[in-house]
Structures are given as C-alpha cells and as structure tokens.
Structure 1
C-alpha cells in the first residue's frame, strides 16, 4: 500500500496549469481550488526549491474532494471545497484550515454574535481574507456562525443584493458568497456541532444563486466580476445544486472567448465549471438531468473542439479539462452512445505527442478507465504501454540498483545523474549510520522516470502511472516486502533552469527511497501510523540541501520567527501546512542531528524495527519539552547567520566527518590525539580539510590508509594556532583519517571537510 505526500509551493503563483490524475482528471488554474484525487499511495515532491530555485509551475493547492477510481468506494456525500484563496490550502489530502500568513483571523464572535441584517452587515464589512479564515471554525463557533438560520439569512442576502449587483465587490457580494461556501464546508466536517441543513436552506440558496446568475452584471468580463463569479460557480457544487445550474455551466462554456484571457478570475470561473461537472457524478440528480438532456455533453465537446488553439499555451487546461469531463460521462452506460463518438472525435483532432497531447491523453485516460473493453473503437488499447513507447524511449542502467527511463536525456546528462545518485548513497549512510536494509525490504532497485519538462510530466505521468501530478515529482514505494515490487521515482527536468540541466527534486525524492529502505520498517502506511512526518520530510529536505551544499534560505527565514516549539514539531502530520511540514521539518531534523545525535540514533532504531510506539514515546516523553529552550536559542543563532555556514556533520558518531560538514568543539590535552574519519565514494577529485577556531594549538594530520598520527601520516599541516588547511587531490575511494594532535592543549576547535 502507498500513501500520498502532498507538497505545495508557497511562493508566487504563476499562470501555468497543473494536472490531476484519473481520480479528478482536472487541470487547475492558479488560485482556483479544485477537487482532490485519490492517487496511488506515494511520496510526492514539492514545488518549493528542493533542488534549486522556486519552480515556475507553483500552484495553489486543492481542496479535499471526491475520491474515485482505483476501486475505492465513493462517499455518499462529497465534501465542499475549501476556500479557493491562498488563505486555505490542502496538505496531505486534507483541506487545510489555516489562515493565510500575515492575515489576522476574524473574531468569530463578530459573526456568531450577530443575526439577521446585523450578520449581513458584518459579513459585507469584512474582507474576503477575513471570511476565508472562517473555514477553520469548529465547536460552538461553527454552530453560531453557520447554523441553518444563519446560512438562510445570508443566502437571502445574496438574492436581495443581486438586483443591484454592480459587477464588483463594493456591495459585499463576494464576502456573502464565500461565507456560504465556508458554511457548507464547516458543516460537512462538523455536522454535530453545526446541525443539519434542510429544506429552508435549500430554498434560500436556490433563490440566491438564481438571482445572482440572472443579473446582467454577472456576465461582465472583468476581474472584479470574475472574483465573485468564480466563487458562485463553486458554491453550486458546495450546495450540491449541480443539476439545477447545468444551464449556467453551458452558458459559461458558450460565452468564453479570447477576451476572457486577460482576466485570471474569469478563467477561474470557466474552469470551475469542470469542478461542478466532475463532482456532479456523485449527485444522482445531476446524472439524471444529463441523461434527460445531454446538451451539456455537446457543450463540453464544442468547447474542446473550438478551442484547440489553447493547447500548448498557458491556458491549455481549459481545453483538456473539457475533454476529460466529457470522457468522464462514459462511466454511465445510459450515456455511452452519446459520449463515444464525441470522445472519438476529440481523439482524432489531437495527438499523443505535441501541442495537442494534453487533450488526447486526457480523453484517452477516460476511455481507458471507463470504457476499456471498447478500446479498439477509440484507438487507445494498451494505453500505458503505448504512452511509454511514445514518451519514454530512453533507458539507461546506472548500475545494479538504479535505472533511468527518460523522455530525452543526453549521454552526459545520464552519466552525471547516475554519478550524483551513487554519491548521495554515501552521504545518506554517513548521516544515519545504518546497518543495512530494514527487515523484509526487497526494494533493492529504483527506477527513475524523467519527463522532459514539468508540462510533459503533467500531461503524461497521471495516465502512465496513475498518480496525482499537482506536485514536483512522486516516489512510489509500493509494498517493499512484495516480490517483484518496483520502487519508482517519477520526475521531470526543470526546464526553467536551461541551459543548465537538473532533474527537479531528484535528491529529495531519492532520499525518500533510501530512508524507506534503510530507516523505516514496512510500507508507507505503517510508517505514518504515528506522527513521523517531522523525520520523513524533514530529513529528505536536510539531506538534499546538505548533500548539495546549498543553504535552505526559506527554512532559515522561518527560524527567525520562532513559530513552533521542537516538541510541537514531533506531532507534525501531512494535515499541517507545507511550511511546517518541510521548512520546519528541516529545522527540527537539523537541530536534532547537530545537537542530539544520540536521540536520533535511538529513534531510528525504533523506526527500523517498526516499533513506532517506542519511537513516539521517546520523542514525546523522554525528550518531551526538555530541548525547547535550547531549540529557541539555536533558532535565534540560525536567524543570525550561524546556520549559513557549513553544517555540523549528521552522523551520531561524533568522530565521523562527511561531505561539506564540520565537527565543532573538539578538544584535547597537550600530546593527545583526537581521531576523526570519513568515507569517500569513487570519483572524488578533491578533498579539502580545514581546522579553525578555538584556543590552544592543534596540528592537523591525515592518512588514507589508517589512523593518522604525528609519526605515521600521509599529509599534514602544522604551525602555531588552529588555522590549518590540507587539500588532497584525486583521493581513492574508501576510508580517510584525520587527527588533531595537541602541540599544546586545545579546545573549541572545528574540523570541516569538503569534497
């Protein structure tokens, strides 16, 4: 079994699309919440600078949505979407309920303590950012704000205000609509607290939406109207009124033209049509309505066929989503006669490769999933194998453990990638000091799949591997104990860094493979049965940055805020925001490796044996809050620049040096020797050893064949004080030995190694 690691970029959102896999099958435009997907269980990479700078495909996260596909049971009721603003983001498959950074939360009492017209005035006076934070209400606050009487009042306010709706936010319509969405969301997750919704609210919400969509200004093609229109379209789904507003969906698809392209909010609005259709399949009235009048099928077909020119542009998701959502109706046997020729027509109008591939692959994926027995009719038989032949022609064996399959890589790029992965092995084992694979782990090989760009990854990876592609890559662990299981990392070239070549998130995700094999007993579901995310993601971040010798600027910026106690971070799950999962995870792991390596050794010992409760007990009881005070001191030092320098070596054995790391606070008496060592992989052309700081006088000695001493060494640097540097060219692979000899007594000395 495999599970999802979901990461989202928190940086600037750029106008590029992203892909959803079969479960959702949508391409989501930035700043628009879309339904989630039930992806194969996997570790997913982030889009926030794991291996280089921020990715240009950064997207807002999706809200929790209907889970379909892969044989999973569909819920009887679909959860409403979370706020589509940056205020609320999904992490780990659960819609976030956290307020946006820098935005003060609304005072819940402003809403729970008001009723009738006073409530309406309060909502209109609030900002949309403020209203977005109400998605997190629980308990008595949830009841006070969103009980049926409150929601009914607000729905009628939308009705009454629509008659004079000016096409912008000046009369508070966006806030009212967003408040209603928040209510449906909170009531879904807190039904006992909020109370039931019944006929009174249904009547009111229909009157509100009827009035809004009937007002002429709701058709204005402007940013100001688009902000409200996009939310109102999503509200259709939140209220499960998918069937009643099919005419609105068709209108939006028909009204779209090139003038909309200048307004991202208007593009949000038309793209949200696909949210309503996608989730409508779980609303029986919606399916019945389409069966009675299949005009929506024609609207989807016409949109896709009339806007082929969008494919290959930053708005191609509009066309490919139309094709996907048309094809999704193949799941209903009563509609297949209508859908089949339309789906076939879109396949004929597009191609498996090239600019039109997003449409072809999207429709083909739907036919393969919902109508596979008729694959000869569509020309989509053996879809995954056909895609592999067309898209991944390169196969390169790095060695017995690593194979790269690629869309396009040069021999030099393949060789460099193989070397980088092999060398990371040594850095990993040096950091965790493992004794070999955990019991029962058969994942002795890894397949690295590399698409040529983020766009190619979004187009093909979902159909080929059944994964969500709203991320920077994905590690599929599978069942590591199963014979024949193939561990696989699916990635892409960071095309925005060209002419430099870099596989995005390669080091982060390769760490997941190594960590799963050598540190974490069992499959991923077992790994996260207790809170282990602080280590899983924090260590992947830490090793990626330390191996590459790159400063994690985003994490160090967070250190200065002192947001989380160390004891709190041990409770991190994928339900927390991405900043906590990745940046604070990095900080927690780095602190523990630098300050308390013995505790890390203990915890990893429990992880390796699958004794998750013992590991949890050590973190929460043995350690508990004991390190919190020192943690905050360490964070302050990081914020002041202490962590910008070479990090402390991670291995629990304080004698072990490593790549681009240091051992501080070395001391010894006059005439005494302080022994250290490191292991070098093959291919190193330069090893630099430096000694600095402290008091007294320590000399440096080095050997590549045994413990270095004053009498027996192959290199050294001596002289007054503790400032010494030794460079070794073309050192052989294997163990190398470094010794500080006390010419006089010394203390507080630092030894660093770089290679």
Structure 2
C-alpha cells in the first residue's frame, strides 16, 4: 500500500512520503490524508516546459548542499528600493582610464603583473571570467595568483575604505583565478598550500583593516567581492566572524553595495556547510545561528519570498540537518515557523523551514508545533470549496464561479466521452472509488510550496493523481493540480483532463489497485489513454506526438513493454498516445479483448495477448500509420453510437440519443424536435445510413422546412451534420427533407 511510484526522469526530493509517527494523533481535515495511512498510490505528471522561472525557494530544493563551482561574476541583484547606486557606479566603481584587457596583457609575473591588474577597471577584471582554457593558463598559474595575493595583503595595510588603490581589482583577480582553475584544472594547474597561505594572509589583512568595516557605498563594493573570495578559496570556516558581523549589520535601511556585501554571505554559508571545519566553527559559536535569525526578524517587514531575509532564514533551517548544530538551530527555527504566517509573503520562509523540521529532524513535529500542519493549511490555502456533484468536489486557492462551473461541465462531459471510447459496462468488480476531489493551486510555485506538506507527495512534477485504496468504501481519490499561469488570462488547469482520465481508467478499466495493474507492463495503456482522451476530448492537435510519429522511433511491440523505469517522458506520453490511438482506431476488437482482461485482473492473460497473440504482427502496419500521422493524417476514431431515444413520440429526441429507420418519400419531410435546457452551448444533429437522399434542416423554435430554416446540410446521401452554437432553450425543431425518397436512416442528437 505504501509504494510511491515515481517517473524515472523525475527529480526525487527527500520528502518524508510517510507521515512522521508523532503526527499520528493530530486532528485531520476531511481534505487532508489521514495521519496513520501511508501515502496513496500516485501518478505523477511532468511539468510543462512553459512553467515560468520563480526566484523564490522551493521546499526540498533550497540550500541542501553547496555549489561545486566558485561563484562567477560579481553583479548581485538587489531590491530596487534598496539600490542607491547608478548603473555607472555598479559597472565601474573606480575611474581608471581604459586599458588593454587581453590574456596576453596579464601573462606577466611579479611587479609587472600587479601593475597590470591595478591599471585596469573592474569591468576588465570581470571579463576575465569568460577566458577559455588557453587564456586562463597564461594568466592564472599558482605563482601568479600568489603574487597578487601578496599584493592584496600589502595594500590592505593602508586600505582607506575606497577603491582608490584598486584593491577591488586585486580581489577580483583572485576570484577569477579560483573560478577558471575549477573550470580548467589540467590547463591552469593545481593550486596548493603556497597559494592557500598567501590568500589566507591577504584576507586576514583585508578584514583586519579598520576601514573594511565602514558601512559605506565605497567600502561595500570591495567588501562584497572579498566575502565571495572567502568561498572561492574555501576559507569559509576561518571567516565566520566576518560573516556574522555582516549578518548583524543588515537593517531595512541598508542599501547599495553594503547590501550586496551581506547578500554575499549566502554563498559562504550555503557552501560552507559542505566543510566539517565550518560546521565545527558554528558549533563553537552559537551566536552565529542567532545572527542568522536576528537578520530575519529585523528585516521581516520586507519579506517577499525572494528576499535576502527569507534566504538566510531558510539557510538557518538547513542547520538542523547537522547533529552538531541541531541543538542551537532548533529553537530558532521553531520561533521563525511560529512567528510568521504560513501563507502570503512569509509563506516561502515558513514552509521551507517546516520542510527542514519535518525532513531533517524527523519525529519531532510536536516540538515545532507543526504536527497538524496539513490540517491547518487546507483552510488557509484552499479557500474555495465547491461541489460539482455527489462524486466530484473542487478545492482551490482562487476560482471564480464561472471557472468552477466550466470545470465541472468539462469533467462531466469528459466522463461521457471516456465511456464512449473504452465501452465499459460500469466499474470493475470491487471498485468503490466513487468520489474524486480536484485540488487546484494558483500556480506551480504554490503547488510546490504547499502540496508536499498537505498531501505528503513529491512536487517536482506537473501534478499528482492519488488513487488511494479503491476497495475501501470511504476512499478519497484526489487529483492535485495547479493553474497553467502561462496561459493567462485564459483559465486552464494543467493536466486536468489527463489526470481525470487516470481516475476513470482506474475505476472502469483496471481491476484492483494501482500496484496490481503494474504487475505487467501496462504503462503504454495507462498513460497513453490519459493522453489520448485529454487531447481528443478537447479536440486539440497533439503536435509533440505527431512530431515523434514522423521519427518512427519505436515499433508497436516495443511500446507494449514500456514501464516507468525503462522509458523517458517522450516514450511514456507521446508514444503511449500514439500506440493507444493506433490500436483504438485500427484494431478495436483486440482492444476490447485486452480491456476485458484488464477489467478481470487477468494481467498474465493481457500480457500474453500483447506479446504472443499480437506480438509483432502489427509492427509493419504501425510503421506505415506513423508515416501518415507524422504528416498530420492520423485518422479518426469512429464516433460511438448513441443509445436509442425512449420517448413514445417518435418525433421527439433527447440528449445523446438516436432513432433508426427514419424514412420519407420524395418531396416530403420527417419532422423532429428536441427540448433543450438553459445553458446548452452546442447542439449537434447528424443523419447517416440508409438509402436515398435526405437533407437536414434546422429552424430553432418553429418547424423546419426548405423555405423556413436557420441552418441546413444538403449533401448527397443521408450523411448530414449540423452544429448549432448557443441554441435557445426550450423546444427546437429540425427535419429531414426527402430530396430523393430515403429509408433506413439514423438520426442522432447530442448536446
């Protein structure tokens, strides 16, 4: 019951997929999973490539490990309201004359190298981050780096808090050197103890200079680069005192380059946690963690989710991952979680901290006061609670009445479409999955921020269908989704129709629970039918699948073997769609036989049908079909036959019903009518079959004739179709006129 199936291509977050034991006694919301129940079986969906970038942190991704590379570049983005510098100041803090800036200009040693470095401007130094391997090898050998480090040490003795002596360029040279040596270690050569000692002495001298602590724009320019150099040189543990001073210095009024200097501490802290020496230094100085918490509380008025205080607060949360730091970090993390709201501007801070508490201090939710976090979040986040029908409920952050009504209608209509495709006889034996809850977050970011806690799921995906245990009478199936914000102002729930098909397929096609259906490879069908119904029901051309068809990558017999473990997203979704579409269109009898086995739970029999009875028999025809489909000619599935109308008056039609044996002699009519409730958006009338030639006429609220009509279809034979948009409510009238006497025709109405 507890296995959470994930796609092979999905990034696995270290979320606790089972609720912590200490949460077992917590009161539960009707819309959150029960605490003592393992996570429901689930179908994860891929993210859309159109998901917009968001600078705010996502739980599980934030600050769980440092970067491998020294930080390149120098421009740190800062809030507009805190920026006190002009564009010119940011790009060139010192007013040096333009100088030549090529690798050959710096291919020097000793005093000549130092003079070259101090003669150019900061923009020149920044450009060296882009050197190739050859250029890097000319400029940044260990001896050259040590020479510049010694020059920085000497210049720091008289540092006056400005860049008049070009100390900023010396710092930047060292930063570039560490960066390019990481990129091109073989060409640049190893850096050893000699350089480490020289850089340490240089940083000691700079941070020991009294004016390096000036809270000014001028000092901040160089100070910010020097703080990043701490990390580039892997000296994070040595300079925790400098970092702590900067953390304690940030206030809401701090701006310009001093803000940048504090911002640079994020790199030192995040990457520092990779080094035992840094952890030991923080263990010896509990005031460091307190300084991180203090920065957050002093600057909480500016929380936006993507701000510096949020980032530092989340880094504080990462400290509970380390046994040596847990005791000092836990009370600070607890205070921040309970100090600020779970939603709104502080949500990214509190939810990320809650993630660390849940996943890095397992079993202690009661200490943090978050054992009931899922229950508390539901009413705070999902403010909309709408019932479409006894079997369908929508919980959402924000949806208008129109959006709710349209979604309910879409799902209800899809239900009918699905049954017309799979031609089932009702739920499979023992399936009690009568209720589906659709949860809709405002955006992918909101989904990733809250859904992991509310529903114990991974969130690095495009949504999740939780099937639960369909044998239980009180089972709650749930689809957790988010709005496709990139489609706004149009309203769209990403993967809605795909995931609803999973619910319908599990209830009407696949016996037992999800694990039962996975005993043999069924993913080609499970994901393929979800894609097929989603695109076909919405009448949307599946361009990605058509493009894949043109490539002809797979044989049909190969696709029958698809699993989540042996396939990428293209094979699972695009090719699953193609395989299902081909089989439904070209071999409906085989599909009926296959689904009969799936519905009976005869997985071995279904597998034999696919691999032995069918085997490779259709591979050649499938290849031919793919060639045509790759040009857009994929064919169509025959529309299902509607049931017979039941009204005793043979002229009267109803929703989705037909009458057979319709006839009229030449020049005469067969008159018909149907009652439409208010709100019908589209009425479709079709005629087919039989002999002769009957033309179809529609006239709204009065009898339809050749001289009184609003729409007509007058082809040869009896194959006529009329689609009426926004017809009036009440009785509407249509007829078949015998251009040539006809008989044996069928007439169908759908709306």
TM over 0.5: yes
Q: Is 1:501 the equivalent of 2:491? A: yes
Distance 1:330 1:556, change over 3 A: same
Secondary structure in 1 matching 2:470: coil
Deviations, residues 667-726 of structure 1 (Å, cap 9, x unaligned)? xxxxxxxxxxxxx9997543335689x9x98757899xxxxxxxxxxx996653677333
Which structure has the greater CA radius of gyration?
2
- Measured in 2, the distance between the counterparts of 1:24 and 1:215 equals 50
Aligned residue in 2 for 1:113: none
8 Å contact 1:372–1:381 — kept in the other structure? Answer: no
Aligned residue in 2 for 1:686: 682
Aligned residue in 2 for 1:406: 396
Q: Is 1:440 the equivalent of 2:430? A: yes
8 Å contact 1:5–1:45 — kept in the other structure? Answer: no
Deviations, residues 60-90 of structure 1 (Å, cap 9, x unaligned)? xx9x99xx9xxxxxxxxx9x99xxxxxxxxx
TM-score by length of 1: 0.57
Distance 1:617 1:292, change over 3 A: farther
Aligned residue in 1 for 2:716: 720
Deviations, residues 596-652 of structure 1 (Å, cap 9, x unaligned)? 122222222222222222222222222222222221221221221213xx832476x
8 Å contact 2:240–2:281 — kept in the other structure? Answer: no
Aligned ranges 1:19-58 → 2 under 5 Å: 21-22=15-16, 41-48=41-48, 54-56=50-52
Secondary structure in 1 matching 2:386: strand
- Measured in 2, the distance between the counterparts of 1:620 and 1:701 equals 47
- Measured in 1, the distance between the counterparts of 2:636 and 2:240 equals 55
8 Å contact 2:464–2:481 — kept in the other structure? Answer: yes
- Measured in 2, the distance between the counterparts of 1:487 and 1:599 equals 30
8 Å contact 1:560–1:635 — kept in the other structure? Answer: yes
8 Å contact 2:393–2:437 — kept in the other structure? Answer: yes
- Measured in 2, the distance between the counterparts of 1:612 and 1:437 equals 17
- Measured in 1, the distance between the counterparts of 2:17 and 2:196 equals 31
Aligned ranges 1:91-110 → 2 under 5 Å: none
Q: Is 1:517 the equivalent of 2:507? A: yes
Number of residues of Structure 1 aligned to a counterpart in Structure 2 = 540
Distance 1:463 1:640, change over 3 A: same
Shift in Å, 1:537: 1.3
Structure 1 unmatched runs, 5+: 11-17, 26-37, 69-77, 82-157, 178-203, 218-225, 237-243, 657-679, 704-714, 746-750
Aligned residue in 2 for 1:631: 622
TM-score by length of 2: 0.57
Shift in Å, 1:655: 11
- Measured in 2, the distance between the counterparts of 1:293 and 1:24 equals 35
Distance 1:268 1:286, change over 3 A: closer
Aligned ranges 1:117-156 → 2 under 5 Å: none
User: Of 559, 581, 586, which residue of structure 2 is paired with 1:569?
Assistant: 559
Q: Is 1:620 the equivalent of 2:586? A: no
Q: Is 1:610 the equivalent of 2:611? A: no
Aligned residue in 2 for 1:594: 585
Shift in Å, 1:348: 5.6
Distance 1:719 1:462, change over 3 A: closer
Deviations, residues 391-418 of structure 1 (Å, cap 9, x unaligned)? 1232111111011112222222222211
- Measured in 2, the distance between the counterparts of 1:460 and 1:550 equals 31
Secondary structure in 1 matching 2:534: helix
Deviations, residues 428-474 of structure 1 (Å, cap 9, x unaligned)? 11111112222222211011112222222222111111111212211
Aligned ranges 1:197-346 → 2 under 5 Å: 312=304, 315=306, 323=313, 326-327=316-317, 330=320, 335-346=325-336
Distance 1:688 1:255, change over 3 A: farther
8 Å contact 1:534–1:585 — kept in the other structure? Answer: yes
Aligned residue in 2 for 1:394: 384
Shift in Å, 1:375: 6.1
Deviations, residues 298-331 of structure 1 (Å, cap 9, x unaligned)? 6875786788699646x46x87676456435547
Aligned residue in 1 for 2:81: none
Distance 1:272 1:484, change over 3 A: farther
Aligned residue in 2 for 1:673: none
Aligned ranges 1:351-366 → 2 under 5 Å: 351-366=341-356
Aligned residue in 2 for 1:450: 440
Shift in Å, 1:19: 8.8
